[in-house]
Chains A and B, each alone.
Chain A
Amino acid sequence: MISEIAAWLLDPAHWTGGEGVLRQSWLHLLYCVFAVCAAAVIAIPLGLYIGHTGRGSVLVVAFGNAVRALPTLGLVTGLAMLYQGSAALAALVVLAFPAVLSGTYAGVNAVPADAVDAARGMGMSSAQRLWQVELPNALPLLMGGVRNAMLQVMATTAIAAYVGLGGLGKLLIEGQAIRHYDQMASAAILIALLAVLVDLVLAGLTRLLVPRGVMLVVAETGAGPRGRREQR
């Protein structure tokens, strides 16, 4: 079996062309990045707002539960039947949304209360507090949310091939249809590999974005910054 998978993967013919691994990987990646970015554009500002004001935190929980309750494939097929292939993308965006939202919210919530209090006490405006204190300190958990979202979307994109969206899932489903198990297994391995690779890139990005002083706190406590927010 292993030798068959190796043989499949090493065959250059499987890599090139319209149905090849390279193009499908690219599409897979593109869908996922698009979905997570689109979700982030709304979820990050919303999470920041909710965390900053403390208003609407119920929303974060509600979103998370609602999406978890949705059968993924049902959502994807449902939307796809209504709006055809590209609407499966919309489903991916919806899927990515709660993870980014709750990550951002949790990040702002974990900013040390005393730092925010000091910011207020020195006369920072609400916006200054958000940009200069809350956002930089929220980044570790915020990026954690983005990485979660990406992993979920990566996995679901594989299923989305059922409704005609391209990507590595397509190779997998085709392989199943024609009972080429070497192709199926290879596609599964490639999906996992791509997910790991993208996660590594995001981990690198996190290291770049998170300020050094915040990294030190995370390293010291083994978790996010200390808990916060009993309004004193």
Chain B
Amino acid sequence: MIEFRSVRKQYDDGTVAVQELSLTVPAGTVTVLVGPSGCGKTTLLRMVNRMIEPSSGAVLLDGGDVRDSEPARLRRGIGYVIQQAGLFPHRTVRDNVATVPRLFGHGRREARRRAEGLLERVGLPSEIGKRYPAQLSGGQQQRVGVARALAADPPVLLMDEPFSAVDPVVREGLQDELLRLQGELGKTVLFVTHDIDEAVKLGENVAVLRQGGYLAQYAPPEQLLAEPADDFVTSFVGRDRGYRRLSFVDSSGLRAGSVDTVRIGDTSADVPSQAGWVLVLDTHDRPRGWLPPEATIHGQLTEDQLIAGGSLHTGGAPLRGALDAALSSPSGLGVVVDEDGVYLGVVTARQVLEILESGRHPAVSEGAFR
């Protein structure tokens, strides 16, 4: 557990970066600090491992004041991913990660073995271990940064915009990996971002900071979206908050309907009446695309005769995915699949809205997303 007790930070030049702020980060959860640039997120984060000392107030780690620990020792027990990856240019990727176990006095061989395991854990192939940071992409560097922070197996992780330098697709992958790791390892994670979507996705609790180092709201993400505390939070969470909130609404009340289906490789004889849209599956029953009404098939059905499908909704996942599947599908029918991607049925946007309106499932269900 991390506890900020009325901490305040005024830099030497008079800038007040954090203003009398109190916040409790529960153990074993991901807590996100979010806010516009310069609102004091990094400053607050760095108080935990004493990279920055508060001007007044105290930071407590598992009940003990961090000032009672010698800085280097304290830091060795806390994983810290800095805002840029901060890799050591002169060391290979593997030795970058092995640096921390080496600091703990492990032998070179043991440290490297650990490093290799960690690189695997963050989804990097083992060949990358022999490369130097200058030979990696930004996203790969950030993964290495995360692996290095995990190397001491610290109970507490501080992450400062660790995924800022990567494109949205890779970023999403890294976020999923973090959630998976968190699920496996149960760390206490304090995560900084200025991206509200990232905050809402990762945080069990989200602290919204305002320019000048004020805490504007501290709440679980679903509450943040449903009941923003003031105009600042409202504008910060943005226009789409109603839609985003669907990420926290359970979709179990949704009854998937059916639609005509055919398989790749079928001939025109197998294709049904053609009155409406027909969903095309592969041999493993996974959706491949759509055939429009009245489509004629010459010979065997192949991929290039299809219209690409929309996003897929995994049964049981939050309602946002179901609505998106329906809206993005060329037929207006959202395709529902199981965990293995096998076709289950279809839903319409109207069905989703009916669920919301009927009030049967509008209750914000905590943790439904995870």
A interface with B by C-beta (< 8 Å): 112, 114-115, 117-125, 128, 132-133, 136-137, 211-214, 216-217, 220, 225, 232
Contacts and interface: CB of A to CB of B under 8 A. Distances in A.
A217 B75 contact: no
Given A121-B82, A220-B134, A115 B87 contact: yes
B184 to A, nearest CB: 22
- Which residue of B90, B145, B149 has the most chain A CB atoms within 10 A of its CB atom? B90
Interface of A is mostly: helix
Given A216-B135, A217-B134, A220-B134, A124 B90 contact: no
Interface residues of B, number: 33
Given A114-B82, A211-B90, A213-B91, A121 B134 contact: no
A128 B90 contact: no
Interface of B: 42, 49, 51, 71-77, 80, 82-92, 99-100, 103, 132-135, 145, 148-149, 152
B75 A122 contact: yes
A232 B86 CA distance: 13
A173 to B, nearest CB: 46
A211 B103 CA distance: 20
A116 to B, nearest CB: 8
Nearest to A125: B72
Contact of B82 (A118, A128, A212): A118
Given A114-B82, A121-B49, A121-B82, A216 B72 contact: no
A115 B145 CA distance: 11
A119 B42 CA distance: 17
Contact of B133 (A121, A123, A213, A232): A213
Given A114-B84, A121-B49, A213-B133, A225 B89 contact: yes
Given A120-B51, A216-B135, A114 B85 contact: yes
A124 B104 CA distance: 10
B86 A213 contact: no
B54 to A, nearest CB: 16
Given A114-B85, A213-B90, A214-B90, A123 B135 contact: no
Contact of A121 (B80, B89, B90): B80
9 contacts: A115-B88, A115-B89, A118-B145, A120-B51, A121-B51, A122-B149, A124-B72, A213-B88, A220-B134
B82 A136 contact: no
B103 A213 contact: no
Which of A122, A128, A211, A213 has the most B CB atoms < 10 Å from its CB?
A122
